[in-house]
């Protein structure tokens, strides 16, 4: 079945549909990761977006139940060069096309994703319509009428309704006995040392796994939980998660987090970093085309060390608006944008990128232990 991808500026692409036929709109963005399509598709931060993968062939290792980053896919649509005709891996349970059909997601293959990505890099992020039903002119009009990403609160769609304590089976990380031949070959989890509350703005499973591996018991709460409610639980610290949409549209969250600063140690990732930017009196702005992929170079300004990092963000903290009690600790070497900040008086720090990887490099994974050390230093 034929599919059309129409960009709001009139650029059109045609290809072959897979997954669930229909019509979908969203902000179109590109991800340069070579592997990890399943983690990308299920990352709640992609809510409201049509994602293009620049890696030419996708789907070759299928879909398995262990590599999801949340309970469902969040991309509004998926654009690729070629859907692998073979899904082959010992953990694969279904093909990507079957998974999309089951979850109602429309994909398009046979798109020149290099041309599309170069177009987005020069023209900037924009709205798009992906359809198997509409004509080219109808698809274009639908893209132009879609709501913009600026001002969108998607956190309310993805945050957990009920609070819960993260339970982790250490065997999740094991290679099965059928591969290793060894009974009980799994990663032992350390004993719980700290108890924290994590705000769920669209949290990825691997953040929860990495926090547990660093000795945290994590109580996950809805994005609307008040600061008073969080403090009443007497946590050792508070974590602010990643999440979708425009960080400037979340005033109700900024107001609560503001009341936590100075009361408890805080660590934020991605949307959590942007929320802290607002809480500290600064602001965020939309990047021309965002950072999404597993090869983003970040410099730690305190040590001079460079990490290759996993990223997924379309907004950034404006360093010119940060007050003098906030230190910019990390910058992106591609465009000098803010990648990490720290409060000079209170135990609060955050990074714009993804130390949990999933997918991507593990250079930055030490931040989970740094949060534990920060909590210890304040006790
Ligand atoms: N991964 C995230 O937390 C993304 C944060 C925000 N939605 C952005 O696009 O910049």
Q: Which CATH number fits domain 2-145: 3.40.50.2300, 3.50.30.20, 1.20.1070.10, 3.30.413.10?
A: 3.50.30.20
The atom of ligand 1 lying closest to the CA of 316 is: 10
Average pLDDT over residues 284-291: 98
Average pLDDT over residues 282-297: 98
For residue 281, the 8-state DSSP code is: T
Residues of the chain with pLDDT > 70: what percent? 95
Q: Is 17:126 a contact under the CB 8 Å cutoff?
A: no
Question: Per DSSP, what are the bridge partners of residue 109?
Answer: 16
Q: What is the pTM of this model?
A: 0.96
Second-level CATH architecture of 155-378: 3-Layer(aba) Sandwich (3.40)
What pLDDT shows up at residue 189? 81
Please give the Cα distance from 127 to 129 (Å, whole number).
7
- Tell me, using a 6 A CB cutoff, whether residue 243 lines ligand 1: yes
What pLDDT shows up at residue 184? 52
Q: Does residue 43 register a pLDDT over 90?
A: yes
Catalytic residues: 270, 354, 356
- Testing ligand 1's pocket by substitution, the residue of 36, 40, 239, 243 carrying the most ligand atoms inside 8 A of its CB is 243
Q: Same CATH topology for 2-145 and 155-378?
A: no
Average pLDDT over residues 276-285: 98
ipTM above 0.95, yes or no: yes
Please give the Cα distance from 140 to 130 (Å, whole number).
10
Residue ranges per structural domain of the chain = 2-145, 155-378
Q: Does residue 169 register a pLDDT over 90?
A: no
Q: Whose CA is nearest to atom 8 of ligand 1?
A: 313
Average pLDDT over residues 45-73: 96
Residue 242 CA to ligand 1 center (angstroms) comes to: 6
Q: Locate 125 and state its tokens.
A: 């992020």
Per-residue pLDDT band at 190 (split at 50, 70, 90): confident
Nearest Cα to Cα of residue 80 among 142, 140, 30: 30
Q: Which of 158-172, 208-222, 354-368 has the lowest mean pLDDT?
A: 158-172
Q: Does residue 181 register a pLDDT over 60?
A: no
Average pLDDT over residues 289-297: 97
Residue 171 CA to ligand 1 center (angstroms) comes to: 30
What pLDDT shows up at residue 177? 47
Residue 316 CA to ligand 1 center (angstroms) comes to: 9
Q: Does residue 188 register a pLDDT over 80?
A: no
Q: Is 192:234 a contact under the CB 8 Å cutoff?
A: no
Q: Does residue 18 register a pLDDT over 90?
A: yes
What pLDDT shows up at residue 174? 45
Express each pLDDT in 242-253 by its tens digit: 999 999 999 999
């Amino acid at each position: 079945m034929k599919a059309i991808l129409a960009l709001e500026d009139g650029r059109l692409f045609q290809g072959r549909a897979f997954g669930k036929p229909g019509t979908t709109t969203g902000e179109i963005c590109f991800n340069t990761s070579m592997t990890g399509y399943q983690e990308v598709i299920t990352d709640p931060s992609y809510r409201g977006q049509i994602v293009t993968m620049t890696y030419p062939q996708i789907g070759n290792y299928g879909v398995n139940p262990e590599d999801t980053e949340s309970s469902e896919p969040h991309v509004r649509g998926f654009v690729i060069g070629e859907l692998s005709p073979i899904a082959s891996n010992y953990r694969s349970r279904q093909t990507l096309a079957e998974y999309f059909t089951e979850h109602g997601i429309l994909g398009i293959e046979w798109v020149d994703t290099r041309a599309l990505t170069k177009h987005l890099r020069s023209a900037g992020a924009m709205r798009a319509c992906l359809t198997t039903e509409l004509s080219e002119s109808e698809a274009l009009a639908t893209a132009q009428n879609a709501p913009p990403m600026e001002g969108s609160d998607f956190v309310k769609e993805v945050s957990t309704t009920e609070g819960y304590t993260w339970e982790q089976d250490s065997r999740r990380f094991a290679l099965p006995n059928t591969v290793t031949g060894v009974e009980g070959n799994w990663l032992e989890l350390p004993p719980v040392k700290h108890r924290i509350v994590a705000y769920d703005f669209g949290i990825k499973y691997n953040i929860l796994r990495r926090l547990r591996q660093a000795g945290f018991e994590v109580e996950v709460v809805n994005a609307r939980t008040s600061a008073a409610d969080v403090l009443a639980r007497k946590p050792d610290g508070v974590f602010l998660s990643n999440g979708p949409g425009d960080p400037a549209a979340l005033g109700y969250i900024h107001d609560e987090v503001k009341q936590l600063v100075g009361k408890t140690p805080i660590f934020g990732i991605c949307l959590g970093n942007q929320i802290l930017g607002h809480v500290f009196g600064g602001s965020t702005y939309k990047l021309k085309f965002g950072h999404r992929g597993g090869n983003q170079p970040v410099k730690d300004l305190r040590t001079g060390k460079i990490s290759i990092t996993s990223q997924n963000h379309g907004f950034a903290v404006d360093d010119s608006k940060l007050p003098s009690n906030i230190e910019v600790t990390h910058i992106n070497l591609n465009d000098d944008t803010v990648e990490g900040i720290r409060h000079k008086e209170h135990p609060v720090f955050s990074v714009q990128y993804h130390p949990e990887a999933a997918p991507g490099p593990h250079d930055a994974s030490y931040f989970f232990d740094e949060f534990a050390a920060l909590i210890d230093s304040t006790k």
